A and B are shown apart, each in its own frame.
Chain A
Amino acid sequence: MKLFSDLLRRLALWVLLVGGLGAVMSMLLGTAEVVGNQILLIPVPGARELTESTMVLIVFGALAYAQIRRSHIRVELLYLRAGPRGRAALDVAADLFALLFFGLLLWQAINEARFSWQFGEATDGLIRFPLFPARIILAVGTGLLVLQLLIDTVTDIRRIFDGSEPPDRDPVAADRPLSID
Chain B
Amino acid sequence: MLDPATAGIIVMVVMVLMLGIGVHIGVSLGLGGLLGIYLTIGPDAAWAQLATVPFSTTNSFTLAVIPLFILMGALATQAGLTTDLYRAAYNWFGHLRGGLAMATTIASAAFGAASGSTVVNAAVFTRMALPEMARFGYDKRLSAGCIAASGTLASLIPPSILMVIYAIITEQSIALLLVAGLLPGLLSAAIYMIGIYVRVRRNPALAPQPDLHISRAEKWRSLRGVWGISFLFVLVIGGIYTGFFVPTYAGAIGAFGTFLIVIAKSRLTGRSLVDTFKDAGVTTSVIFIIVIGGILFARFLTYTGLVNDITDTLLALGLPGFAYLAAFAVIYLILGMLIDPIAIMVMTLPVMFPIMVGVGYDPIWLGVIAIKLAEISLITPPVGLNVYVVRSASPIPLTLEDVFAGVMPFLVLDVITLALLIAFPEIVTFLPSLMM
Interface range on chain A: under 10, 10 to 19, 20 to 34, or 35 or more?
Answer: 35 or more
Asked if B282 contacts A65 (CB within 8 A), the reply is yes
Task: Say which one of B53-61, B138-146, B178-186, B323-331 lies at the interface with A.
Answer: B53-61
**In the complex, A176 has a CB within 8 A of chain B:** yes
Asked if A174 contacts B55 (CB within 8 A), the reply is no
Interface range on chain B: under 10, 10 to 19, 20 to 34, or 35 or more?
Answer: 35 or more
Closest residue of chain B to A79, judged by CB? B22
Minimum C-beta distance from A42 to chain B (A): 15
Using Cβ atoms and an 8 Å threshold, which residues of chain B touch A109?
A: 51, 54-55
Beyond A20-B276, A20-B280, is A55–B286 a contact (Cβ under 8 Å)?
no
Can you identify 8 A-B contacts, CB atoms within 8 angstroms?
Answer: A16-B282, A26-B64, A61-B281, A74-B19, A75-B19, A108-B51, A138-B55, A178-B82
B residues touching A (Cβ–Cβ < 8 Å)? Answer: 18-28, 30-31, 34, 47, 50-51, 54-55, 58-61, 63-64, 67-68, 71, 74, 77, 80, 82-83, 86-87, 90, 117, 119-120, 123-124, 127-129, 132, 239, 244-245, 248-249, 251-253, 255-256, 259, 273-286, 288-290, 338-340, 342-343, 382-383, 389, 392-393
Using Cβ atoms and an 8 Å threshold, which residues of chain B touch A29?
A: 252
Beyond the given A20-B278, A27-B71, A178-B82, please list 9 additional residue pairs across the A-B interface where CB-CB is below 8 A: A23-B277, A24-B71, A34-B239, A65-B285, A93-B23, A101-B27, A109-B55, A131-B59, A173-B283
Using Cβ atoms and an 8 Å threshold, which residues of chain A touch B26?
A: 72-73
Minimum C-beta distance from B406 to chain A (A): 20
Asked if B22 contacts A112 (CB within 8 A), the reply is no
Task: Say which one of A2-10, A46-54, A159-167 lies at the interface with B.
Answer: A46-54
Query: How far, in angstroms, from A58 to B277 measured CA to CA in the complex?
Result: 10
Using Cβ atoms and an 8 Å threshold, which residues of chain A touch B251?
A: 27, 30
Asked if A27 contacts B58 (CB within 8 A), the reply is no
Minimum C-beta distance from B217 to chain A (A): 18
The main secondary structure of chain A at its interface with chain B is: helix
**In the complex, A90 has a CB within 8 A of chain B:** yes
Using Cβ atoms and an 8 Å threshold, which residues of chain B touch A72?
A: 24-27, 286, 289
| Most central of B47, B51, B120, B392 by chain A CB within 10 Å | B51
Beyond A27-B255, A31-B253, A52-B61, is A75–B68 a contact (Cβ under 8 Å)?
no
Asked if B27 contacts A178 (CB within 8 A), the reply is no
Asked if B249 contacts A33 (CB within 8 A), the reply is yes
State the total of A-B contacts with C-beta under 8 angstroms.
Answer: 237
Asked if A74 contacts B51 (CB within 8 A), the reply is no
Asked if B285 contacts A180 (CB within 8 A), the reply is no
Using Cβ atoms and an 8 Å threshold, which residues of chain A touch B34?
A: 101, 104
Asked if A34 contacts B249 (CB within 8 A), the reply is yes
Using Cβ atoms and an 8 Å threshold, which residues of chain B touch A74?
A: 19, 22-25
Asked if A97 contacts B278 (CB within 8 A), the reply is no
Asked if A73 contacts B68 (CB within 8 A), the reply is no
Asked if B60 contacts A19 (CB within 8 A), the reply is no
Using Cβ atoms and an 8 Å threshold, which residues of chain B touch A112?
A: 51, 55
Asked if A16 contacts B123 (CB within 8 A), the reply is no
Within 8 A of B (CB), among A92-115: 93-94, 97-98, 100-102, 104-105, 108-109, 111-112
Using Cβ atoms and an 8 Å threshold, which residues of chain A touch B90?
A: 180
Asked if A27 contacts B285 (CB within 8 A), the reply is no
Using Cβ atoms and an 8 Å threshold, which residues of chain B touch A20?
A: 273-274, 276-278, 280-281
Within 8 A of B (CB), among A51-85: 51-56, 58-63, 65-66, 69, 71-79
Beyond A79-B22, A97-B28, is A178–B128 a contact (Cβ under 8 Å)?
yes
Beyond A16-B278, A20-B276, A172-B123, is A51–B22 a contact (Cβ under 8 Å)?
no
Asked if B281 contacts A178 (CB within 8 A), the reply is no
Beyond A17-B277, A30-B68, A138-B58, is A51–B248 a contact (Cβ under 8 Å)?
yes
Query: How far, in angstroms, from A134 to B393 measured CA to CA in the complex?
Result: 39
**Contact of B60 (CB < 8 Å), options: A52, A69, A104:** A52
Asked if B123 contacts A56 (CB within 8 A), the reply is no
Query: How far, in angstroms, from A57 to B290 measured CA to CA in the complex?
Result: 17
Asked if A27 contacts B119 (CB within 8 A), the reply is no
Asked if B30 contacts A174 (CB within 8 A), the reply is no
Minimum C-beta distance from B32 to chain A (A): 10
Minimum C-beta distance from B345 to chain A (A): 13
Query: How far, in angstroms, from A175 to B256 measured CA to CA in the complex?
Result: 24
| Most central of A17, A34, A175 by chain B CB within 10 Å | A34
Closest residue of chain A to B255, judged by CB? A27
Query: How far, in angstroms, from A139 to B219 measured CA to CA in the complex?
Result: 54
Query: How far, in angstroms, from A112 to B289 measured CA to CA in the complex?
Result: 19
Using Cβ atoms and an 8 Å threshold, which residues of chain B touch A19?
A: 277, 281
Asked if B59 contacts A178 (CB within 8 A), the reply is no
Closest residue of chain B to A13, judged by CB? B278
**In the complex, A118 has a CB within 8 A of chain B:** no
Asked if B253 contacts A34 (CB within 8 A), the reply is yes
Asked if B124 contacts A178 (CB within 8 A), the reply is yes
CB-CB contacts of A26-43 with B at 8 A, as 1s and 0s? 111111011000100000
Asked if A26 contacts B252 (CB within 8 A), the reply is yes
A-B pairs, 3 with minimum CB distance = A30-B252, A20-B277, A62-B281
Query: How far, in angstroms, from A28 to B436 measured CA to CA in the complex?
Result: 29
Query: How far, in angstroms, from A90 to B68 measured CA to CA in the complex?
Result: 34
